[in-house]
Amino acid sequence: MKGNEALAEAAIMAGCRFYFGYPITPQTEIAAYMSKRMPKIGGTFLQAESEIAAINMVIGVASTGKRVMTSSSSPGISLKSEGLSYLAGCDLPALVVNCQRGGPGLGGIQPSQSDYFHATRGAGHGDFRMIVLAPSSVQEMVSLTFKGFDLADKYRMTSMILADGTVGQMMEPVSLDLGEVTDYEKPWATTGTEMKREHNIVNSLCLQPEELEDQNIARFARYAEIEKNEAMYESYRMDDADLCVVAFGIASRVAKNAVDTARANGVKVGMIRPVTLWPFPKDAIAAAADSCKAFVSVEMSMGQMIEDIELAERCRRPVLLCSRVGGMIPTERNILDTIEEARKTGGAE
């Protein structure tokens, strides 16, 4: 299955019965797949008149406590930003997929990771976070989508799948054995009172500053819990590593090959692959800074995750950037060259 189709099927298996979207390359297979599958299982597929309409439909369904999603690619995600902020303000669970392409503006249609800042920092106005999951294979398009719905419900917030054109378009063998869906109580959902309870109100408007301050503080207490409990990463050949490559998504696949090649040439290098970009696996990076002499951040952006690495390791070690942008993917050679540079800079053997 293509990554995009596998993601869509995983969403259905996670209990999602509402999909709202608008076509854009390279994520349109998600919408196409949903248009075929949803009617057969009593779900709703709706091609909205715009990305903005789609995200607002998501807000509507999320208010009722049902699992709901939308998907787009970079320019379309920008349009959804207002809705992402409202979802946060209303404390609503939802899944949003960004199958990234090169930007800014309309940019290109080839893969990119340049929406890292958008996803981890500035998804919209106001103080808020999203859980950001970064799949590096078709299998993870499946497992992280399933996980994303679960985390969204658990913490009443948006989970974003930050994929890219490559993992969306590629095919790999995939297992859809995902386990049981956890049902969360949603006493806040607007499902009709049946005259038996008080009205539930879902709203992001709060004109009392004291009250709004309290809401923000309560939300960030939840975020602190997420940072403590939900960071995920893969550690690869880090045991005796002098150098640490950090890469996520499709870039990490090339980086893994580069690590193997460098190891074969006697360079003690390992890799940390953040699976969650928010919460960022800070502790793993900080621990790596104890034993490694330098870091290499491999990114398909002009250098965005590199700031999180520097923050996590408190600038104790140099962090070198290996970056390709505009739809280009770093080659193994690019990464090996930066590893070599890091070896010299950090004084590793």
Partner 1 sequence: MTTQILIAGFGGQGILFAGKFLSHEALIENKEVAWLPSYGPEMRGGTANCSVTISDKPIGSPIIANPDILIAMNLPSLDKYEDAVKPGGYIFVDSSLIERKVKRTDVKAYYLPATAICSEDENLRGGADIILMGAMIRRTGVVSLENTEAAFRKVVKANKPQLLANDLRAIKIGYDYED
Residues in touch with partner 1 (CB under 8 A): 25-26, 109-110, 165-166, 169-173, 250, 253-254, 256-257, 260, 329, 331-333
First to last CA, the chain: 43
Our CB check for partner 1 shows the closer of 216 and 257 to be 257
CB of 271: closest distance to partner 1 in angstroms? 11
Strands 319-323 and 269-274: unpaired
**Cα dihedral: 291, 296, 300, 301 (round 10):** 100
Our CB check for partner 1 shows the closer of 60 and 326 to be 326
CB of 333: closest distance to partner 1 in angstroms? 8
Q: C-alpha distances in angstroms, 222 versus 128, 155, 218, 348?
A: 11, 7, 7, 40
CB of 206: closest distance to partner 1 in angstroms? 44
Contact 135, 251 (CB under 8 A): no
CB of 332: closest distance to partner 1 in angstroms? 7
Q: Report the b/e string of 171-182 with b at 16+ CB within 10 A.
A: eeebeeeeeeee
CB of 98: closest distance to partner 1 in angstroms? 17
Our CB check for partner 1 shows the closer of 56 and 252 to be 252
Our CB check for partner 1 shows the closer of 191 and 331 to be 331
Q: How many CB atoms lie within 10 A of CB 149?
A: 25
Our CB check for partner 1 shows the closer of 63 and 110 to be 110
Residue type, 10: A
